[in-house]
Structure 1
Amino acid sequence: MDSETLLKLAESRVLISDTKAIKKVIYAFHALLHPDSHGDKLFAAHASFDGALSQFAQSLARADHIAAVTASEVASYRTEAAALERNSHDTSDALGRLEGELARARQERARRIEYDARARVIQRLPDRHKGLEQQQRLESDIALLESESRTYAETWQARKVAFDAIVNSLQVMQEAIRDEKAEQERRRALDEDDGDADATLDDDAPAPTPAPAPAPAPGAPPSAAPSGLALDPRAQAFVPGAPGGDEDGDVPMGDLEAESVQVQLQLLGPPRTPSGASRASREEGQVTDDQPSTQEDEA
Protein backbone atom coordinates (compact mmCIF):
# COMPACT_ATOMS: atom_id res chain seq x y z
CA MET A 1 0.00 0.00 0.00
CA ASP A 2 1.22 3.46 -0.86
CA SER A 3 1.24 6.45 1.48
CA GLU A 4 -1.92 8.03 -0.03
CA THR A 5 -4.00 4.87 0.52
CA LEU A 6 -2.79 4.58 4.12
CA LEU A 7 -3.73 8.23 4.74
CA LYS A 8 -7.29 7.71 3.44
CA LEU A 9 -7.70 4.57 5.58
CA ALA A 10 -6.57 6.45 8.69
CA GLU A 11 -9.03 9.28 7.99
CA SER A 12 -11.92 6.84 7.50
CA ARG A 13 -11.12 5.15 10.80
CA VAL A 14 -11.19 8.47 12.63
CA LEU A 15 -14.61 9.30 11.15
CA ILE A 16 -16.10 6.06 12.50
CA SER A 17 -17.84 7.02 15.76
CA ASP A 18 -20.35 5.31 18.15
CA THR A 19 -22.11 8.57 19.08
CA LYS A 20 -25.01 8.02 16.71
CA ALA A 21 -25.57 4.47 17.92
CA ILE A 22 -25.47 5.59 21.56
CA LYS A 23 -27.94 8.39 20.90
CA LYS A 24 -30.24 5.96 19.16
CA VAL A 25 -30.08 3.54 22.11
CA ILE A 26 -30.81 6.38 24.54
CA TYR A 27 -33.76 7.57 22.43
CA ALA A 28 -35.20 4.03 22.26
CA PHE A 29 -34.73 3.64 26.01
CA HIS A 30 -36.62 6.90 26.76
CA ALA A 31 -39.41 5.79 24.41
CA LEU A 32 -39.66 2.55 26.31
CA LEU A 33 -39.98 4.45 29.61
CA HIS A 34 -42.63 6.85 28.31
CA PRO A 35 -45.86 6.64 30.41
CA ASP A 36 -48.04 6.44 27.34
CA SER A 37 -46.36 3.29 26.18
CA HIS A 38 -48.96 0.56 26.56
CA GLY A 39 -49.69 -2.51 24.58
CA ASP A 40 -48.50 -2.25 21.00
CA LYS A 41 -46.54 0.98 21.57
CA LEU A 42 -44.66 -0.63 24.39
CA PHE A 43 -43.92 -3.69 22.24
CA ALA A 44 -42.72 -1.47 19.38
CA ALA A 45 -40.59 0.61 21.74
CA HIS A 46 -39.11 -2.53 23.16
CA ALA A 47 -38.31 -3.88 19.67
CA SER A 48 -36.77 -0.54 18.70
CA PHE A 49 -34.65 -0.61 21.84
CA ASP A 50 -33.48 -4.15 21.03
CA GLY A 51 -32.55 -3.09 17.50
CA ALA A 52 -30.62 -0.07 18.79
CA LEU A 53 -28.78 -2.28 21.24
CA SER A 54 -27.97 -4.74 18.44
CA GLN A 55 -26.63 -1.96 16.24
CA PHE A 56 -24.60 -0.60 19.15
CA ALA A 57 -23.16 -4.07 19.78
CA GLN A 58 -22.28 -4.40 16.11
CA SER A 59 -20.62 -0.99 16.21
CA LEU A 60 -18.59 -2.02 19.24
CA ALA A 61 -17.60 -5.29 17.52
CA ARG A 62 -16.58 -3.39 14.42
CA ALA A 63 -14.54 -0.99 16.52
CA ASP A 64 -12.86 -3.92 18.26
CA HIS A 65 -12.11 -5.48 14.86
CA ILE A 66 -10.72 -2.21 13.58
CA ALA A 67 -8.59 -1.89 16.71
CA ALA A 68 -7.26 -5.44 16.26
CA VAL A 69 -6.53 -4.83 12.59
CA THR A 70 -4.88 -1.55 13.46
CA ALA A 71 -2.76 -3.22 16.13
CA SER A 72 -1.68 -5.91 13.68
CA GLU A 73 -0.89 -3.29 11.08
CA VAL A 74 1.09 -1.27 13.61
CA ALA A 75 3.05 -4.39 14.54
CA SER A 76 3.72 -5.14 10.89
CA TYR A 77 4.74 -1.54 10.34
CA ARG A 78 7.08 -1.71 13.30
CA THR A 79 8.54 -4.94 11.94
CA GLU A 80 8.88 -3.38 8.52
CA ALA A 81 10.46 -0.25 10.01
CA ALA A 82 12.94 -2.38 11.95
CA ALA A 83 13.69 -4.32 8.77
CA LEU A 84 14.14 -1.06 6.90
CA GLU A 85 16.48 0.21 9.60
CA ARG A 86 18.47 -2.99 9.47
CA ASN A 87 18.52 -2.80 5.70
CA SER A 88 19.64 0.83 5.95
CA HIS A 89 22.46 -0.12 8.31
CA ASP A 90 23.42 -3.04 6.08
CA THR A 91 23.31 -0.77 3.05
CA SER A 92 25.48 1.82 4.82
CA ASP A 93 27.95 -0.88 5.81
CA ALA A 94 27.93 -2.23 2.26
CA LEU A 95 28.50 1.27 0.88
CA GLY A 96 31.45 1.79 3.23
CA ARG A 97 32.85 -1.59 2.28
CA LEU A 98 32.36 -0.89 -1.42
CA GLU A 99 34.00 2.53 -1.07
CA GLY A 100 37.00 0.86 0.56
CA GLU A 101 37.12 -1.73 -2.22
CA LEU A 102 36.82 1.06 -4.80
CA ALA A 103 39.73 2.93 -3.21
CA ARG A 104 41.82 -0.24 -3.16
CA ALA A 105 40.85 -0.97 -6.78
CA ARG A 106 41.91 2.53 -7.80
CA GLN A 107 45.24 2.11 -6.01
CA GLU A 108 45.72 -1.28 -7.64
CA ARG A 109 44.90 0.20 -11.04
CA ALA A 110 47.40 3.05 -10.51
CA ARG A 111 50.06 0.54 -9.42
CA ARG A 112 49.34 -1.66 -12.44
CA ILE A 113 49.63 1.32 -14.79
CA GLU A 114 52.95 2.29 -13.20
CA TYR A 115 54.12 -1.33 -13.30
CA ASP A 116 53.22 -1.63 -17.00
CA ALA A 117 55.09 1.60 -17.79
CA ARG A 118 58.20 0.42 -15.94
CA ALA A 119 57.90 -3.03 -17.54
CA ARG A 120 57.89 -1.43 -21.00
CA VAL A 121 60.98 0.60 -20.07
CA ILE A 122 62.71 -2.54 -18.75
CA GLN A 123 61.84 -4.47 -21.90
CA ARG A 124 63.44 -1.79 -24.05
CA LEU A 125 66.67 -2.01 -22.05
CA PRO A 126 69.17 -4.82 -22.71
CA ASP A 127 69.46 -7.52 -20.12
CA ARG A 128 72.33 -7.67 -17.65
CA HIS A 129 74.09 -10.64 -19.28
CA LYS A 130 74.22 -9.00 -22.70
CA GLY A 131 75.31 -5.74 -21.11
CA LEU A 132 78.21 -7.48 -19.34
CA GLU A 133 79.25 -9.18 -22.58
CA GLN A 134 79.15 -5.89 -24.45
CA GLN A 135 81.13 -4.21 -21.66
CA GLN A 136 83.79 -6.93 -21.83
CA ARG A 137 84.01 -6.58 -25.61
CA LEU A 138 84.38 -2.82 -25.27
CA GLU A 139 87.08 -3.23 -22.63
CA SER A 140 88.99 -5.65 -24.86
CA ASP A 141 88.63 -3.24 -27.81
CA ILE A 142 89.86 -0.37 -25.63
CA ALA A 143 92.88 -2.40 -24.53
CA LEU A 144 93.61 -3.33 -28.16
CA LEU A 145 93.25 0.29 -29.27
CA GLU A 146 95.57 1.44 -26.50
CA SER A 147 98.15 -1.14 -27.60
CA GLU A 148 97.77 -0.05 -31.22
CA SER A 149 98.03 3.58 -30.13
CA ARG A 150 101.34 2.89 -28.41
CA THR A 151 102.54 0.96 -31.46
CA TYR A 152 101.51 3.77 -33.79
CA ALA A 153 103.15 6.34 -31.52
CA GLU A 154 106.43 4.45 -31.71
CA THR A 155 106.01 4.02 -35.48
CA TRP A 156 105.25 7.70 -35.96
CA GLN A 157 108.29 8.64 -33.88
CA ALA A 158 110.50 6.44 -36.05
CA ARG A 159 108.91 7.85 -39.20
CA LYS A 160 109.41 11.39 -37.91
CA VAL A 161 113.11 10.73 -37.40
CA ALA A 162 113.37 9.17 -40.87
CA PHE A 163 111.39 11.99 -42.43
CA ASP A 164 113.62 14.59 -40.78
CA ALA A 165 116.63 12.77 -42.20
CA ILE A 166 115.04 12.76 -45.67
CA VAL A 167 114.20 16.45 -45.39
CA ASN A 168 117.80 17.20 -44.46
CA SER A 169 118.96 15.09 -47.41
CA LEU A 170 116.61 16.98 -49.72
CA GLN A 171 117.93 20.28 -48.44
CA VAL A 172 121.49 19.11 -49.10
CA MET A 173 120.41 17.99 -52.59
CA GLN A 174 118.80 21.38 -53.25
CA GLU A 175 122.00 23.13 -52.21
CA ALA A 176 123.99 20.84 -54.51
CA ILE A 177 121.55 21.49 -57.37
CA ARG A 178 121.79 25.25 -56.89
CA ASP A 179 125.59 25.01 -56.84
CA GLU A 180 125.54 22.85 -59.97
CA LYS A 181 123.15 25.25 -61.68
CA ALA A 182 125.47 28.15 -60.92
CA GLU A 183 128.39 26.09 -62.24
CA GLN A 184 126.44 25.28 -65.42
CA GLU A 185 125.62 28.93 -65.99
CA ARG A 186 129.28 29.82 -65.49
CA ARG A 187 130.32 27.09 -67.93
CA ARG A 188 127.68 28.20 -70.41
CA ALA A 189 129.08 31.71 -70.28
CA LEU A 190 132.60 30.33 -70.77
CA ASP A 191 131.39 28.16 -73.67
CA GLU A 192 129.78 31.16 -75.31
CA ASP A 193 133.04 33.10 -74.96
CA ASP A 194 135.00 30.12 -76.32
CA GLY A 195 132.53 29.80 -79.21
CA ASP A 196 133.06 33.42 -80.18
CA ALA A 197 136.85 32.95 -80.04
CA ASP A 198 136.67 29.72 -82.10
CA ALA A 199 134.53 31.43 -84.71
CA THR A 200 137.20 34.10 -85.09
CA LEU A 201 139.96 31.47 -85.40
CA ASP A 202 137.97 29.43 -87.93
CA ASP A 203 138.06 32.32 -90.29
CA ASP A 204 141.91 32.22 -90.31
CA ALA A 205 142.83 28.53 -89.86
CA PRO A 206 141.20 25.16 -89.52
CA ALA A 207 140.32 24.12 -86.01
CA PRO A 208 142.65 21.51 -84.49
CA THR A 209 141.30 18.12 -83.64
CA PRO A 210 140.61 17.95 -79.88
CA ALA A 211 142.23 15.20 -77.92
CA PRO A 212 139.94 12.57 -76.40
CA ALA A 213 138.90 13.44 -72.89
CA PRO A 214 139.86 11.05 -70.15
CA ALA A 215 137.07 9.02 -68.61
CA PRO A 216 135.79 10.51 -65.35
CA ALA A 217 136.27 8.58 -62.18
CA PRO A 218 133.33 6.41 -61.07
CA GLY A 219 130.97 8.36 -58.85
CA ALA A 220 132.56 11.71 -59.70
CA PRO A 221 130.13 14.63 -60.22
CA PRO A 222 129.82 16.30 -63.61
CA SER A 223 131.80 19.28 -62.30
CA ALA A 224 134.90 17.03 -62.01
CA ALA A 225 135.34 17.01 -65.80
CA PRO A 226 138.43 18.80 -67.13
CA SER A 227 137.86 22.50 -67.56
CA GLY A 228 139.52 22.46 -70.98
CA LEU A 229 136.80 20.29 -72.55
CA ALA A 230 133.61 21.75 -73.98
CA LEU A 231 130.49 20.83 -72.00
CA ASP A 232 127.08 20.30 -73.48
CA PRO A 233 124.92 23.23 -72.37
CA ARG A 234 121.81 21.03 -72.67
CA ALA A 235 123.23 18.30 -70.43
CA GLN A 236 121.10 17.46 -67.40
CA ALA A 237 122.46 16.94 -63.94
CA PHE A 238 121.95 13.60 -62.29
CA VAL A 239 119.40 13.85 -59.45
CA PRO A 240 118.32 10.61 -57.74
CA GLY A 241 114.62 10.01 -58.33
CA ALA A 242 114.16 13.03 -60.66
CA PRO A 243 112.48 12.19 -64.02
CA GLY A 244 114.45 14.84 -65.94
CA GLY A 245 115.42 18.50 -66.18
CA ASP A 246 114.26 21.39 -68.26
CA GLU A 247 115.80 22.72 -71.47
CA ASP A 248 118.68 24.41 -69.59
CA GLY A 249 119.60 21.22 -67.78
CA ASP A 250 118.03 22.44 -64.52
CA VAL A 251 115.78 20.29 -62.44
CA PRO A 252 112.51 22.14 -61.62
CA MET A 253 111.90 22.73 -57.94
CA GLY A 254 108.28 21.57 -58.36
CA ASP A 255 109.59 18.10 -59.25
CA LEU A 256 111.65 18.06 -56.08
CA GLU A 257 108.61 19.10 -54.05
CA ALA A 258 106.48 16.40 -55.72
CA GLU A 259 109.23 13.89 -55.02
CA SER A 260 109.37 14.95 -51.36
CA VAL A 261 105.57 14.60 -51.11
CA GLN A 262 105.75 11.12 -52.63
CA VAL A 263 108.49 10.12 -50.20
CA GLN A 264 106.41 11.50 -47.33
CA LEU A 265 103.33 9.54 -48.44
CA GLN A 266 105.44 6.39 -48.70
CA LEU A 267 106.74 6.97 -45.19
CA LEU A 268 103.27 7.59 -43.79
CA GLY A 269 102.11 4.21 -45.11
CA PRO A 270 98.50 3.05 -45.33
CA PRO A 271 95.70 4.69 -43.29
CA ARG A 272 94.96 3.46 -39.79
CA THR A 273 92.83 0.37 -39.57
CA PRO A 274 89.42 1.04 -37.89
CA SER A 275 88.79 -0.49 -34.46
CA GLY A 276 86.01 -2.72 -35.81
CA ALA A 277 88.20 -4.26 -38.58
CA SER A 278 89.38 -7.82 -38.46
CA ARG A 279 92.75 -8.98 -37.15
CA ALA A 280 93.82 -9.82 -40.69
CA SER A 281 93.36 -6.19 -41.76
CA ARG A 282 95.46 -4.99 -38.84
CA GLU A 283 98.20 -7.50 -39.66
CA GLU A 284 98.14 -6.35 -43.29
CA GLY A 285 98.50 -2.77 -42.07
CA GLN A 286 101.47 -3.78 -39.92
CA VAL A 287 103.11 -5.50 -42.91
CA THR A 288 102.54 -2.36 -44.98
CA ASP A 289 104.05 -0.26 -42.21
CA ASP A 290 107.28 -2.23 -42.53
CA GLN A 291 107.66 -1.33 -46.23
CA PRO A 292 108.67 2.36 -45.78
CA SER A 293 111.70 1.32 -43.73
CA THR A 294 113.04 -0.57 -46.78
CA GLN A 295 112.31 2.43 -49.00
CA GLU A 296 114.10 4.67 -46.53
CA ASP A 297 117.14 2.37 -46.65
CA GLU A 298 117.08 2.49 -50.45
CA ALA A 299 116.77 6.28 -50.36
Structure 2
Amino acid sequence: MDPDFVPSLAETRASSDTKVLKKAIQGFYALLAEDATGDKLQAAHANFEVGLGQLEQLLDKAKRIEQVTAWEVEGYRNEVVSLERLVAAQQERARRIEYDAIAKTITRLPDREKGKESQDKLVADIELLRQEERTYAETWRTRKLAFDAIVTSLEAMQEAIREEKAEQERRRALDEDDSEELADAAAPPPAAAATGEGQGAPLDPTAKPFVPGASEATTPAAAADGDVAMDGVEEEQRDREEGQVTDDREDGEMS
Protein backbone atom coordinates (compact mmCIF):
# COMPACT_ATOMS: atom_id res chain seq x y z
CA MET A 1 0.00 0.00 0.00
CA ASP A 2 1.23 3.49 -0.88
CA PRO A 3 2.12 5.44 2.33
CA ASP A 4 0.66 8.68 0.88
CA PHE A 5 -2.69 7.05 0.08
CA VAL A 6 -3.92 6.78 3.69
CA PRO A 7 -3.53 10.50 4.63
CA SER A 8 -5.17 11.56 1.38
CA LEU A 9 -8.08 9.20 2.09
CA ALA A 10 -8.48 10.65 5.61
CA GLU A 11 -8.46 14.18 4.25
CA THR A 12 -11.07 13.25 1.66
CA ARG A 13 -13.36 11.70 4.24
CA ALA A 14 -12.96 14.68 6.62
CA SER A 15 -13.73 17.16 3.88
CA SER A 16 -16.71 15.19 2.61
CA ASP A 17 -18.36 14.84 6.07
CA THR A 18 -19.95 18.35 6.26
CA LYS A 19 -23.21 17.49 8.02
CA VAL A 20 -21.88 18.36 11.45
CA LEU A 21 -20.40 21.59 10.17
CA LYS A 22 -23.66 22.58 8.51
CA LYS A 23 -25.56 21.81 11.71
CA ALA A 24 -23.23 24.04 13.73
CA ILE A 25 -23.65 26.84 11.21
CA GLN A 26 -27.42 26.55 11.39
CA GLY A 27 -27.27 26.71 15.21
CA PHE A 28 -25.14 29.85 14.98
CA TYR A 29 -27.61 31.55 12.64
CA ALA A 30 -30.46 30.53 14.99
CA LEU A 31 -28.80 32.52 17.77
CA LEU A 32 -28.66 35.57 15.52
CA ALA A 33 -32.35 35.45 14.68
CA GLU A 34 -34.47 38.46 15.82
CA ASP A 35 -37.12 36.33 17.41
CA ALA A 36 -34.61 34.37 19.48
CA THR A 37 -35.67 35.40 22.99
CA GLY A 38 -36.25 33.67 26.24
CA ASP A 39 -36.57 29.89 26.02
CA LYS A 40 -36.12 29.87 22.28
CA LEU A 41 -32.80 31.61 22.65
CA GLN A 42 -31.66 29.12 25.26
CA ALA A 43 -32.69 26.19 23.07
CA ALA A 44 -30.83 27.67 20.10
CA HIS A 45 -27.79 28.22 22.28
CA ALA A 46 -27.93 24.61 23.48
CA ASN A 47 -28.24 23.33 19.91
CA PHE A 48 -25.31 25.48 18.87
CA GLU A 49 -23.16 24.08 21.68
CA VAL A 50 -24.14 20.55 20.70
CA GLY A 51 -23.15 21.28 17.09
CA LEU A 52 -19.83 22.74 18.22
CA GLY A 53 -19.21 19.64 20.37
CA GLN A 54 -19.95 17.33 17.45
CA LEU A 55 -17.70 19.39 15.20
CA GLU A 56 -14.95 19.25 17.80
CA GLN A 57 -15.34 15.47 18.08
CA LEU A 58 -15.22 15.19 14.30
CA LEU A 59 -12.01 17.17 14.16
CA ASP A 60 -10.53 15.15 17.03
CA LYS A 61 -11.57 11.95 15.25
CA ALA A 62 -9.78 13.05 12.10
CA LYS A 63 -6.68 13.80 14.14
CA ARG A 64 -6.87 10.45 15.85
CA ILE A 65 -7.34 8.71 12.51
CA GLU A 66 -4.39 10.60 11.14
CA GLN A 67 -2.29 9.66 14.15
CA VAL A 68 -3.29 6.00 13.98
CA THR A 69 -2.66 6.01 10.27
CA ALA A 70 0.76 7.52 10.84
CA TRP A 71 1.50 4.83 13.41
CA GLU A 72 0.40 2.13 10.98
CA VAL A 73 2.46 3.64 8.20
CA GLU A 74 5.48 3.76 10.49
CA GLY A 75 4.88 0.15 11.45
CA TYR A 76 4.63 -0.84 7.81
CA ARG A 77 7.84 1.02 7.07
CA ASN A 78 9.57 -0.75 9.94
CA GLU A 79 8.29 -4.07 8.66
CA VAL A 80 9.55 -3.25 5.19
CA VAL A 81 12.94 -2.34 6.62
CA SER A 82 12.96 -5.56 8.65
CA LEU A 83 12.05 -7.60 5.59
CA GLU A 84 14.77 -5.91 3.58
CA ARG A 85 17.25 -6.60 6.35
CA LEU A 86 16.09 -10.22 6.50
CA VAL A 87 16.48 -10.62 2.74
CA ALA A 88 19.92 -9.04 2.91
CA ALA A 89 20.87 -11.35 5.80
CA GLN A 90 19.64 -14.39 3.88
CA GLN A 91 21.58 -13.35 0.80
CA GLU A 92 24.67 -12.75 2.92
CA ARG A 93 24.28 -16.17 4.53
CA ALA A 94 23.86 -17.84 1.14
CA ARG A 95 26.97 -16.06 -0.16
CA ARG A 96 28.93 -17.11 2.92
CA ILE A 97 27.85 -20.73 2.50
CA GLU A 98 28.89 -20.60 -1.16
CA TYR A 99 32.20 -18.96 -0.28
CA ASP A 100 32.83 -21.57 2.42
CA ALA A 101 32.19 -24.38 -0.06
CA ILE A 102 34.55 -22.77 -2.59
CA ALA A 103 37.17 -22.26 0.12
CA LYS A 104 36.91 -25.90 1.21
CA THR A 105 37.30 -27.01 -2.40
CA ILE A 106 40.32 -24.77 -2.85
CA THR A 107 41.96 -25.97 0.36
CA ARG A 108 41.26 -29.59 -0.56
CA LEU A 109 42.85 -29.26 -3.99
CA PRO A 110 46.65 -29.38 -4.25
CA ASP A 111 48.69 -26.45 -5.37
CA ARG A 112 49.87 -25.87 -8.94
CA GLU A 113 53.16 -27.76 -8.60
CA LYS A 114 51.56 -30.81 -7.05
CA GLY A 115 48.81 -30.71 -9.63
CA LYS A 116 51.40 -30.63 -12.43
CA GLU A 117 53.26 -33.55 -10.86
CA SER A 118 50.03 -35.52 -10.57
CA GLN A 119 49.17 -34.74 -14.18
CA ASP A 120 52.61 -35.85 -15.39
CA LYS A 121 52.31 -39.03 -13.36
CA LEU A 122 48.90 -39.77 -14.85
CA VAL A 123 50.27 -39.20 -18.36
CA ALA A 124 53.15 -41.59 -17.64
CA ASP A 125 50.75 -44.19 -16.25
CA ILE A 126 48.57 -43.91 -19.34
CA GLU A 127 51.58 -44.38 -21.61
CA LEU A 128 52.70 -47.38 -19.56
CA LEU A 129 49.25 -48.91 -19.82
CA ARG A 130 49.29 -48.40 -23.57
CA GLN A 131 52.67 -50.12 -23.82
CA GLU A 132 51.39 -53.01 -21.72
CA GLU A 133 48.34 -53.22 -23.95
CA ARG A 134 50.55 -53.43 -27.04
CA THR A 135 52.75 -56.03 -25.34
CA TYR A 136 49.75 -58.12 -24.34
CA ALA A 137 48.33 -57.87 -27.85
CA GLU A 138 51.62 -59.03 -29.38
CA THR A 139 51.92 -61.83 -26.83
CA TRP A 140 48.37 -62.91 -27.51
CA ARG A 141 49.00 -62.91 -31.27
CA THR A 142 52.20 -64.95 -30.85
CA ARG A 143 50.53 -67.43 -28.54
CA LYS A 144 47.58 -67.73 -30.88
CA LEU A 145 49.90 -68.53 -33.78
CA ALA A 146 51.76 -71.05 -31.62
CA PHE A 147 48.49 -72.60 -30.52
CA ASP A 148 47.31 -72.84 -34.12
CA ALA A 149 50.62 -74.49 -35.04
CA ILE A 150 50.25 -76.94 -32.15
CA VAL A 151 46.70 -77.77 -33.19
CA THR A 152 47.86 -78.32 -36.77
CA SER A 153 50.71 -80.54 -35.56
CA LEU A 154 48.33 -82.53 -33.37
CA GLU A 155 45.94 -83.02 -36.25
CA ALA A 156 48.80 -84.17 -38.49
CA MET A 157 50.05 -86.46 -35.71
CA GLN A 158 46.59 -87.93 -35.23
CA GLU A 159 46.33 -88.56 -38.96
CA ALA A 160 49.77 -90.22 -38.98
CA ILE A 161 48.81 -92.32 -35.97
CA ARG A 162 45.62 -93.40 -37.70
CA GLU A 163 47.56 -94.35 -40.84
CA GLU A 164 50.18 -96.18 -38.77
CA LYS A 165 47.50 -98.02 -36.85
CA ALA A 166 45.75 -99.01 -40.06
CA GLU A 167 49.08 -100.21 -41.49
CA GLN A 168 49.80 -102.22 -38.33
CA GLU A 169 46.36 -103.79 -38.44
CA ARG A 170 46.90 -104.67 -42.09
CA ARG A 171 50.30 -106.19 -41.29
CA ARG A 172 48.86 -108.01 -38.32
CA ALA A 173 46.15 -109.51 -40.52
CA LEU A 174 48.74 -110.57 -43.08
CA ASP A 175 50.98 -112.05 -40.37
CA GLU A 176 48.06 -113.98 -38.93
CA ASP A 177 47.29 -115.37 -42.36
CA ASP A 178 50.96 -116.32 -42.88
CA SER A 179 51.12 -117.91 -39.42
CA GLU A 180 48.06 -120.01 -40.13
CA GLU A 181 49.51 -121.14 -43.46
CA LEU A 182 52.88 -122.00 -41.85
CA ALA A 183 51.15 -123.86 -39.04
CA ASP A 184 49.14 -125.87 -41.54
CA ALA A 185 52.27 -126.64 -43.56
CA ALA A 186 54.33 -127.60 -40.49
CA ALA A 187 51.70 -129.98 -39.08
CA PRO A 188 52.83 -133.70 -39.64
CA PRO A 189 50.49 -136.02 -41.53
CA PRO A 190 48.43 -138.31 -39.33
CA ALA A 191 49.88 -141.81 -38.71
CA ALA A 192 48.42 -144.65 -40.52
CA ALA A 193 47.77 -146.51 -37.31
CA ALA A 194 45.96 -143.58 -35.76
CA THR A 195 43.73 -143.01 -38.72
CA GLY A 196 43.17 -146.64 -39.45
CA GLU A 197 44.59 -146.31 -42.95
CA GLY A 198 47.18 -148.79 -44.25
CA GLN A 199 45.70 -151.80 -42.54
CA GLY A 200 45.82 -154.63 -45.00
CA ALA A 201 47.98 -152.60 -47.40
CA PRO A 202 50.83 -154.41 -49.18
CA LEU A 203 54.36 -153.95 -47.86
CA ASP A 204 56.90 -151.93 -49.79
CA PRO A 205 59.81 -154.20 -50.68
CA THR A 206 62.11 -151.20 -51.19
CA ALA A 207 61.43 -149.64 -47.74
CA LYS A 208 64.46 -149.22 -45.50
CA PRO A 209 64.64 -151.04 -42.25
CA PHE A 210 63.55 -149.14 -39.08
CA VAL A 211 66.45 -147.86 -37.02
CA PRO A 212 65.69 -146.17 -33.66
CA GLY A 213 66.81 -142.47 -33.65
CA ALA A 214 67.21 -142.42 -37.37
CA SER A 215 63.89 -140.62 -37.88
CA GLU A 216 65.00 -137.62 -35.82
CA ALA A 217 68.32 -137.40 -37.64
CA THR A 218 66.89 -137.95 -41.08
CA THR A 219 64.07 -135.27 -40.82
CA PRO A 220 65.83 -131.90 -40.96
CA ALA A 221 63.04 -130.47 -43.10
CA ALA A 222 60.50 -131.14 -40.40
CA ALA A 223 62.74 -129.47 -37.82
CA ALA A 224 63.19 -126.51 -40.12
CA ASP A 225 59.46 -126.28 -40.62
CA GLY A 226 58.94 -126.30 -36.84
CA ASP A 227 61.47 -123.50 -36.40
CA VAL A 228 59.74 -121.45 -39.06
CA ALA A 229 56.40 -121.96 -37.34
CA MET A 230 57.83 -120.86 -33.98
CA ASP A 231 59.44 -117.82 -35.59
CA GLY A 232 56.07 -116.86 -37.10
CA VAL A 233 54.35 -117.15 -33.73
CA GLU A 234 57.03 -115.03 -32.02
CA GLU A 235 56.82 -112.38 -34.76
CA GLU A 236 53.04 -112.30 -34.42
CA GLN A 237 53.40 -111.84 -30.65
CA ARG A 238 55.83 -108.94 -31.17
CA ASP A 239 53.49 -107.27 -33.65
CA ARG A 240 50.63 -107.54 -31.20
CA GLU A 241 52.73 -105.98 -28.42
CA GLU A 242 53.85 -103.14 -30.71
CA GLY A 243 50.23 -102.52 -31.74
CA GLN A 244 49.16 -102.40 -28.10
CA VAL A 245 51.94 -99.86 -27.30
CA THR A 246 50.91 -97.72 -30.28
CA ASP A 247 47.26 -97.81 -29.17
CA ASP A 248 48.24 -96.78 -25.64
CA ARG A 249 50.36 -93.91 -26.95
CA GLU A 250 47.53 -92.72 -29.21
CA ASP A 251 45.04 -92.84 -26.34
CA GLY A 252 47.42 -90.82 -24.12
CA GLU A 253 47.93 -88.12 -26.77
CA MET A 254 44.22 -87.89 -27.48
CA SER A 255 43.42 -87.42 -23.77
Q: Could you say which TM-score interval applies, normalised by the shorter chain? A: 0.3 to 0.5
Which structure's relative contact order is higher, taking Cα pairs within 8 Å and 6+ residues apart?
2
Structure 1 or 2: more helix by fraction: 2
When normalised by structure 1's length, the TM-score is 0.40
TM-score (ref. length: structure 2): 0.45
